[in-house]
Amino acid sequence: MKWITRERPKIDRIACPWLILRFIDPDAEIIYVPYAEVLEKAAELNATPFDLPGVEYSHYDDRCTFDYFIKKHGLKDEALDRIAAIVRGADTDRHDFAPQAAGLEAIFSGLSHQLLDDQELLSFGLTIYDGLYIWAQKLYHLKHSQAGPVEQLLLQVYQQYLKTEKGKKAPVWAKALKDMIQDQLDTNMTLSLQQASEELEINPTYLSREFSKYFDNMSFGEYMRKLRIDRAIELMKDDNYSLTDIAYLTGFSDQSHFNRTFKKQTGHNPLSYRKNILPGKKDTN
């Protein structure tokens, strides 16, 4: 099958051919022609036009042509979803969609300036997207300097909460953040929004704005405080821990801060709450 689009491709018009050749039609022929000639040549060559206003395979809503190919052909692949966010951010100058978007835009702007042959540019682009796909499959969660097991030496966490709205699919970053909170909180539960944004490589402003949609309609701070208090309640069931110990283990700077937050969350001070769940037990601070 033949596919045709505008000449001098950069981001979307290289990403789409890569998607076609790797996942839809490995024998496809990709044709680049001047903008004014696309539809005429498409009819002449019996080729399907893409990334052009007014044709089926094009931008829709706030999505790119790459997104439409994924939707149209029912490609279910989390790695492709990660790449789609990067392509969308680079192609629409919305780098808050994915931090890698700025790099992708820079790479293809440079290549487009250097390589005047569109087919040669496509050839280079296919290799770049092949590498990006491997990253999106296997390496997206790693930092360049990540040492491995050292990153995993963190506190035990609990299997609860993080419910998404019914029928609404959580984005990839929300799933990754769930794993981070469940598997990578340190002993004092001091994960900050900035740390989370750096680990996920997502703009902190965007993460803060979108967080509540996927985390029980709470802000990042509210959600973390709730987890701390839930953890404290679990620790209260073990009378080997004093309330001072529990305050420290759940990341509070001092016991008075812990007491205030606990009462705000539960309506009870920690001591009276513990007496109710451990009748006959006396806490020592």
- The type of residue at 72 is K
Q: Tell me what percent of the residues of the chain surpass a pLDDT of 70.
A: 80
Contact call for residues 193 and 220 (beta carbons, < 8 A)? yes
Tell me what pLDDT residue 150 has.
31
How confident is the model at residue 25, as a pLDDT? 94
CA–CA separation, 97 and 88 (whole Å): 7
pLDDT at position 189? 52
Q: What confidence category does residue 258 fall into, taking pLDDT thresholds of 50, 70 and 90?
A: confident
pLDDT digits (tens, 9 = 90+) for 62-116: 889 999 999 999 999 999 999 999 999 888 888 778 888 888 998 998 888 889 9
Confidence of residue 120 (pLDDT cuts 50, 70, 90): very high
Predicted confidence (pLDDT) at residue 283 exceeds the cutoff of 80 = no
Is the pTM higher than 0.75? The answer reads no
Domain boundaries, the chain: 2-139, 151-277
How many of the other CB atoms lie within 10 Å of CB of 224? 21
Beta bridge partners of 49: 4
With 50 as the cut, is the pLDDT of residue 185 above it?
no
More confident residue, 127 or 253: 127
Confidence check: pLDDT of 186 > 70: no
- Do residues 202 and 192 touch, judged by C-beta distance below 8 A? no
- Which whole number is the average pLDDT over 193-205? 75
For the cut 70, the answer to whether the pLDDT of residue 167 exceeds it is: no
By percentage, how much of the chain surpasses pLDDT 90? 39
- List, for residues 4-46, the tens digit of each pLDDT value: 999 999 999 999 999 999 999 999 999 999 999 999 999 999 9
**In contact, 77 and 30? CB cutoff 8 Å:** no
Topology (CATH level 3) of domain 151-277: Arc Repressor Mutant, subunit A (1.10.10)
The pLDDT of residue 56 is 95
